Structure 1
Amino acid sequence: MNENDVAGRMRTRLKTRHMLLLVTLDETRNLHQAAEAANMTQPGVSKMLKDIEDILGVPLFERLPRGVRPTVYGETMIRHVRMALAHLAHGQQSIATLRAGLSGHVNIGVIVAPALTLIPRAIARAKEEAPNLCIGVEVSTSNDLVVKLKQEHLDFLIARILEREDEPSLLYEDMTEEVVCVVGRRAHPLVAHPKLTLKELAQAKWILSARGSILRNRFDMMFRRADLDMPANVVETTAMSVTMSLLQQTDFLHVMPVEVARYYVATGELAILPIDIPCRMERFGIITSRDQVLSEGANLLLRHIRAVAAEIY
């Protein structure tokens, strides 16, 4: 029997109650306990399991003296069954949401630059259309956000996928590149410097992200390639409140995306130093999971994010 024949038989004969039983058997690993959980008799559970195995043409569970254990076929099927049941639950939730008016929760992950410019505008538009939609935003590094997306703690991301990562489970939709610049307080002595160089920046005081982060790596390599010592007077933090307070009250410098820097220049809080540094970041975009079905609310927010991104980038 070929793959299409099996798929056809599954569509016509495999029922939701079959899928629920497979999950219950996987969780209990015991026919008697599974029967109690499913409100069935043990012979009934045994018969239904055999029916499922007959439909698929492979053994799904190995019968043991004191229980059952999934075979390699069973493990594969159970994994897909769990995804199918989750998709059904999302569908039911979406229907309930449409009937009651768009509401519910959307949780997204965002890197710093779009968190200050793109996301606020998109959220404002989404809330105009769906005021009861609760939107959660987590700002962090791409590495941390990808982990949480895989764990299904987040619906989608505005972040980057690193070149070293092979992520077949993720979908990526490109947005734009990220150019960085040097910022300091408006009255910083180097703001009016006519010919600022990397050598002078190497001797300055800096607020940087911790070693190991993408931007810190690019920053350090910038000085290494110029055969310069890296700055020694450094404060390491990812807290934007600490960074902004130090920048405004001291002569520390900071490197940040131009998009973010322009925001703070417009508010009068910071100034961009007159030097084009050879420091570039990978492009970022929308990241979603192949196995995760987005809710109506998530799709609404994503639609507005795409629209605002087209205007900004």
Structure 2
Amino acid sequence: MRGQEYTENPQIEGVDAGGSGLGLLRSGLKLTHLRMIVAIEDHKQISAAAEVMNISQPAASRMLNEMESILGTPLCERVSRGVALTAFGRAFARRARTILLELREVDREIGAMKSGAGGTVYLGSVAAPAVSLAVPAINHVSAAYPGIEVNVRIETSNVLSRELLAARHDFIIARLPDDLDPRQFHAEEIGIERACLIVRKGHPLLDKPIVSLSDLHGHDWVFQPPRTLLRRRMEELFISANVPLPSTVINTSSIILTVAIVCGSNAIAPIARDMADFVAGNAADAGNVRILQTDFEIDIKPYSLISVKGRALPPSAKLLYDLIQQRSRMLATD
């Protein structure tokens, strides 16, 4: 990595003064360079970026040197556990990500035109609205527009918000994390998540018509990872009731694993009420799930439909977005 070279000539190395950007292409900038800088930003290590690109680490290092030579400035700096992008590197990665996103949209649009239908939608959601809002909207889209392909990822809001910025989703149903600049997003609040406690059929606590927080002490628990909203809300309830926090805890963000552990043990798990109603009402092992009746409510921060400002939704994604929005308004008036 070499230092920046300054010149009074407006024809900066690799960039033509006319602003067309062709200078970068004439200097050898390639799409693989754009993919590499994005991979470095995502993974914070040259070796990990090389693996994503399916090239060797020496080849990845040479590619980084090429980019720095073309742009005439250092893009990375060594840190204790890998590399961090410089201000120049972050600016380059941001633009590179936008270019790659636009190329992906070209591919999607041309593919839809060739097939005579639809396109592809990338949606991220937290668990509760995925069941109550996303699934009915997806069913409607699939029936009316069979050519549309919908990809759904269920994750925590922290993960989904960062993936949205990285252009891995068209839009998400989630909550904005406190550590991200809200000015980057367009967010419309569409509902509040309510949670409940689930146990297996035959659990000792089901003998009680109403369960209080003090009844929960001494049991094993399945929680979402630390610092997630539902986990923090449960901890707040324990603390406010002066009940000791659970000592035996399994942490997982997987609803399937949560249900499997609950069905095979005496563990208790807090999950979204919509999800609990769904799994408790189905057959097989999930049908062994029961909802505890409690004398306290588990209300969580409202969730929103979130997209990135300045990034237009493709037609297929806009269609699904509008249907979810309409359903949320319908549920709010029921």
Out of 302-311 and 248-257, give the one that drifted further.
302-311
Q: Contact 1:183 / 1:256 at 8 angstroms: preserved in 2?
A: yes
C-alpha RMSD of matched pairs (Å)? 3.4
**Aligned match for 2:124, one of 86, 96, 109:** 109
Please name the residue that 1:235 is paired with.
Answer: 250
Partner Cα distance (2:121, 2:136) in 1: 16
Matched with 2:318 is 299
Could you tell me which runs of 5 or more consecutive residues in structure 1 were left unpaired when the two chains were aligned: 1-16, 29-65
Q: Per-residue displacement from partner, 1:237-281 (whole Å, max 9, x unpaired)?
A: 222222111222222111112222222232244222110435331
User: Among the aligned pairs, what percent are the same residue?
Assistant: 23
Q: Which residue of 1 aligns with 2:59?
A: none
Counterparts in 2 of 1:89 and 1:199: CA distance versus 1, 3 Å = closer
1:212 Cα offset (Å): 2.2
Task: Indicate whether 1:286 and 2:305 are aligned.
Answer: yes
Structure 1 residue 244 and structure 2 residue 259: aligned? yes
Alpha-carbon spacing, 1:26–1:89, altered in 2? closer, same or farther (3 Å): farther
Q: Give ranges in structure 2 of 5+ residues lacking alignment.
A: 1-17, 30-68, 74-86
1:136 has 2:151 as partner: yes
The structure with the larger Rg is 1
1:37-69: CA deviations, max 9, x gaps? xxxxxxxxxxxxxxxxxxxxxxxxxxxxx9875
Does the CA contact (< 8 Å) of 1:222 and 1:278 recur in 2?
Answer: no
Of 156, 162, 167, the match for 1:147: 162
For 2:292, the equivalent position in structure 1 comes to 273
Q: Is contact 2:185-2:307 (8 Å) kept? A: yes
| Equivalent position to 2:241, from 203, 226, 240 | 226
Task: Give the drift of 1:292.
Answer: 1.8
Amino acid at match of 2:327: V
- Quick check: 1:212 aligned with 2:231? no
Q: CA contact under 8 A between 1:183 and 1:261: conserved in structure 2? A: yes
Bigger Cα displacement from structure 2, 114-123 vs 174-183: 114-123
The size of the alignment, in residue pairs, is 258
Please report the TM-score for the alignment, with normalisation by the length of structure 1.
0.70
- 1:156 equivalenced with 2:157 (yes/no): no
Residue 124 in 1 paired to residue 143 in 2?
no
Question: After the TM superposition, which residues 44-55 of structure 1 pair with which residues of structure 2 at under 5 Å, given as runs?
Answer: none
Q: 2:192 matched to 1:192?
A: no
Aligned 8 A contact 1:178 1:280 in 2: yes
